[in-house]
Structure 1
Amino acid sequence: MELGARWMRRPAIGAGGPLLLLTLLSRWPGVAATFSQPSDSEFTFVLPPGREECFYQSAARNNTMELEYQVIGGAGLDVDFSVFGPSGENLITEARRSDGVHTIEPTMEGDYKICFDNSFSTISEKLIFFEVIFDDVQEDWSEIVEPEELLDVKIDDIKEAIGNMNHKLDKSVQIQATLRAFEARDRNLQEGNLGRVNFWSAVNLGVMLVVSFVQVYMLKSLFDDRRKVQT
């Protein structure tokens, strides 16, 4: 049984065109999620204890793919991470890490397998954020226009300016997504610390009350008038 989810279109910051993020997630063992298009994607999911979840990301030949992940919730804030190439070779393997950034270049055409493993944990689920970023490949469309000497502005200058703008916009989106992940992880840590502080404060208060009761009882017993008991 598969559970699919299509991400809604959203505009990039400062850009007029929408950014389409398409992902398909499976929540059952042995079934993997698929990103159908080689486009920038970001995703947050819950990894149950004793489970491994894998995702497939397609990539074009001679492209650059950047993978970034963070464990933002769960005991220990760690997970095993691995990436396999289209031919099945193991490209990246990390054990018990809370975050990581990896770049694969040049890429081979095909599907890359991205796996997160929480099988070492028996009771704690993990909340994981990860994103996949591709460098845009610009098509050489200058050949279909008139010669550069007939244009007021060189087509290469326009293409370079547009490319720089798109690159900066993509970086701003990436940085904001990373900051959101850091904020979520810090919030989870603070909530966990607050719970532990409240628990041990209650325990200490209970111990102090018991000790105070015992001390009062012992002092009172020392001053009891034993002569009345003997008569």
Structure 2
Amino acid sequence: MLSSSYVCFMSICLWSLLHHVLMEGGPGVGEEGEEDFSFDGLPGAQHEFKVEVPGNQEECFVQKVAQNAELHASFEVLRGGSRMVDFYIKDVHNRVIDELLYKSEGSFKYTVPATGHYQICVNNVHSRFVSKLVHFYIVTMVEEEWTKYVQEIDEINNTVENFTVVITEVQNSIKQVRLHQSATRMNVMKDWYMVTGNNSYVMYWSLFQIACVLMTSSFQVYFVRKLFNIPNVTPTAKPRA
């Protein structure tokens, strides 16, 4: 029993802490962190989705739009009965600023005079029992920021082109260096074989010349000694007088 009470108390404490973090958290948790977040990095917001609208009911979607931004909203009923619905936009004061009645598709373009949360609504009032599948496409953007974004993209493209040119030049230089290294390597190999061949030739030729000199010297010594070799007896083995 004590264990169950302790678990219940800890669960209540954890829930209170989580609620406090969600309600009073920083920009990364609360609402402020999500207002200006963009998934694709574009200056503005872009949403595309499909919604099933029940019969005789209204569905509204809230989008924060900056001052002087353009709000584009379009819809198309994909299926359901006669495919006719009412489509309209409400301003920050919940007043209808533009509407399309009894339409199966359409679009709006509105320049927002003040920053605020605007509602894009679809009403399936013309069908009491049949639901309709509606496709939405909503875009908000500030023209100046979009122009700045395009300029930044152009600058990035120019930087990429310059970088590509530099990389191409580096690749060409690397090719030239490799060709030079290959030619140098071939010259080194040719010189090595030439030096090795000359060394062998000189070594064998030197050995041959040494052998010739040794043989000539031996013959000379032999014949000189033979020339001065005078016997002390006559051919009849008698001593000379």
Of Structure 1 and Structure 2, the greater strand share is in 1
Give the alignment's TM-score, normalised by structure 2.
Answer: 0.43
**Larger-Rg structure:** 2
Give the alignment's TM-score, normalised by structure 1.
Answer: 0.44
Of Structure 1 and Structure 2, the greater helix share is in 2
